[in-house]
Chains A and B, each alone.
Chain A
Amino acid sequence: MDLPAGTRNYSYAQDMAIFRTKTHWALLIALLVILFTAPFYLGNYWLGVINLIGITIIAATGLNILTGYCGQLSIGHAGFIAVGAYTSAVLTNRLELPFLVGFICAGLVAGLVGMVFGIPSLRVKGFYLAISTIAAQFIIIWIINHWSSVTGGFVGITVPYASIGGLVFKSEGSQFFLIMTITALTIFFAKNLARTRVGRAFVAIRDNDLAAEVMGINLFRYKLLAFFIGCFLAGIAGSLLAHWIGFMNAEHFSLIQSILYVGMIIIGGLGTTIGPIFGAVFLRGLDQLLTMELTPFLERSFTALPAGFATGIAPMVFGLVVVLFLVLEPRGLAHRWQLFKASYRLWPFSY
């Protein structure tokens, strides 16, 4: 990693540190202070949007480990999120187990289901693997809709508030603290995973699986491990989603959501820790702003517009912005962030 001029590392510990300079630490603390004081200056709606973004970041981070780091394309991520959501819902509602049990089991069950659907990854890759993960999406949703004695089927299932000990996360603000804490831990985990032996094995498999195998990397083991970790994170995101919304049915986990997750990690920047954060904030934020602000404004202000224009403009602008990003910055927002940091460090010099 590039370091600011005058900064040197004198030990391996310093070299491995994520935050190396006082500026890094100051910025981190400032960010955390701004973030964790948000319930004091934001209303429930914006807290709700941030909660949704936090949950999305966790799930997108899981997909980024699977696809961005290990190169295993998955278009069934919403299905794995559904597994986690329903596992947590069933354990806490029907069996009345504590939230933490439901939360951890949500990750484990989603991880195991992900491994099952990841088995074909040993024989197929690229588009073929994408098709097999789409199958996961459809199979999981079909099971949820038809295993009604457990999942509630089309009627759905109520999910109680998350609680730890006597602390019940009822208000939007308290849910915000829960979700943001888990989001921060997930990001920290993903950042460190990428720097371990496992993370390097994932990258080797992504770059050239044949060469990786020749180097002694057990493809089957590591590919399944990537599926497990990616889907584990999807599962815990699903658990948080279920307890945040309070009611689950299969409508929350459409194929469009799965595709959106792939879009997020591409726009954010594949194979970077910060990519899913940028992607989730950008796409969820843009989506909210267009449909919640722009469309009602146009509908209210320009009644002479042709029918469907105001509502059609949001998806059009959304699609246009996504296409522009892919054309102008195919390496994602994370790359643009790297360029910004580099030019900031070198400023006022160009090189």
Chain B
Amino acid sequence: MRKKKLLIISAALCLALIVTLLPAMSACGPATEKTLKIGMSTPSSGPAAEKGSPMGHANLDCFKYINEELGGVAGYQVEVLWLDNAYDASKAATIIKRFMDEDCLFFTTASSAMMTAMMEIANRDEFPGFACFSSPALTHPPKHIYGQTPDYGDDWAAFATYYMENIWKGPGKPKMALHLLNNPTGYGARDAARALADELGIEIVATEEHSTTTSSEIESLTRIRAENPDVLYISSTPAPTAIVIKNAVDLGMYPGMTIACGHASFTSALVDLGGADVVEGVYGVYPTVNWGDDVPSMDKMTEYCQQYHPDDYGNMDYIISWAQSLIAAEILRLAVENAGIDNLTPQLVEEQGFKKMRNFDVGGLHGPVSYSLDDNRLSKSVRVFQIEDGELIAITGWVEAPLIKYEEFDWYGK
């Protein structure tokens, strides 16, 4: 019996050894010509896998397209070291060291949370990187980490700017209430409102918080109703946002005031959860186009998605990561063009790649990408949408969110 046990354990260990050595064996081979190596990490397993998995697929599909159809970047193949961080901060901390150890020129992540876990290690070594989803902590103060899309605070700033220019017609200051998820998604909008409301001429009359598991917000909305706001801004995920809007309808607050949402909740899931009649007329901001929109990159992205990962078709996260790979390729192209292939270092790539980006068009998938001094947000634009007959209809072109210098406020991070 004991021998049998020993045999099973030995077999299991052998199997584990073979499985772990396979990649190493496959890596052995003749030396190849010079390539451009970058690191990419997505939470493709773990608690955020539903977002991270399509994002990882999009990253790799896009570089497959770049290498096979476009012949790489500036004539050089791009080698992507892709690693799954499983949305685990400890693992992320070792992944960044691996990227640096394997001489990657820069790195990318999907989520702001995983970038947060990596950023100090990267900043200490001046190793540049950028994240699809951004938060103020990544780019304020600006160091070596960049944000691909506007953060939740930028959402608020872009919508508030649009609201003041296009919707508000009354005298004096409009009264705005905030309904925020109790995490960075909500607090990003809160901080932006705190920084910019006075400047934009908006009076924040109420700030309420909710959790991801909320089932009723009647009480908080009753407090908000007492302040008689002109606009309610919600920065949350789809399910709580749907509940807030439903409750606002139940209390007779909506229609009658403007409701707007940040990009974390403004997807088709909001319509499905809230019901098309309830969310009719709600405004929202989003940093990318929709599937099927008539933009230059759509056809190729759709072709690759349907060929290699058809399950991801329709997922907005796939779009943002496809765009991320296009931006990564452009950074490499600029760096090679400006600094040459032979002496490229992460520091050179940052100076000659990241910082040379000027109005790069990501095939129309999201707003133009530019670097400007002291602003590490690569894309600063969102589009304002409105729900009409259950559809998310874009009602503006790209609206630029103003830069908020959070680090200059005493309250930031306190």
Contact = CB atoms under 8 A, between A and B. Distances in A.
Interface in A308-327: 308, 311-312, 314-315, 317, 321, 324
B44 interface: yes
Contact of A328 (B5, B24, B311): B5
A289 interface: yes
Interface in B135-161: 136-137
Given A301-B26, A311-B49, A314-B45, A48 B97 contact: yes
Contact of A45 (B26, B98, B136, B309): B98
B115 to A, nearest CB: 10
Interface in B85-114: 85-86, 88-91, 93-95, 97-98, 100-102, 113
Contacts of A245: 89, 93, 117, 120-121
Interface string B382-414: 000000000000000000000000000000111
A209 interface: no
Contacts of B310: 307
Interface string A201-245: 000000000000000000000000000000000000000010011
Nearest to B23: A297
**For B45, B60, B86, which residue has the most chain A Cβ atoms within 10 angstroms?**
B45
B235 to A, nearest CB: 13
Chain A's interface: helix, strand, loop or mixed, by majority?
helix
B97 A299 contact: no
Interface string A155-180: 11111000000000010100000000
A155 B414 CA distance: 9
B260 interface: no
B6 to A, nearest CB: 9
A325 to B, nearest CB: 9
Interface residues of A, number: 59
Contacts of B81: 296
Nearest to B17: A289
A252 B90 contact: yes
Interface in B40-55: 44-47, 49, 53
B162 interface: no
What is the size category of the interface that chain B forms with chain A?
Answer: 35 or more
B22 interface: yes
Nearest to B43: A311
A294 interface: yes
B5 A311 contact: no
A44 B100 contact: yes
- The 5 A-B pairs at the shortest CB distance, nearest first, are namely A246-B120, A247-B120, A297-B23, A311-B44, A48-B97
Interface of A: 43-45, 47-49, 52, 145, 148-149, 152-159, 170, 172, 241, 244-247, 249, 251-252, 256-257, 286-297, 299-301, 303, 306-308, 311-312, 314-315, 317, 321, 324, 328-329, 336
Interface of B: 5, 8-9, 12, 16, 19-20, 22-24, 26, 44-47, 49, 53, 56-57, 60, 81-86, 88-91, 93-95, 97-98, 100-102, 113, 116-117, 119-121, 123-124, 136-137, 183-184, 187, 308-312, 412-414
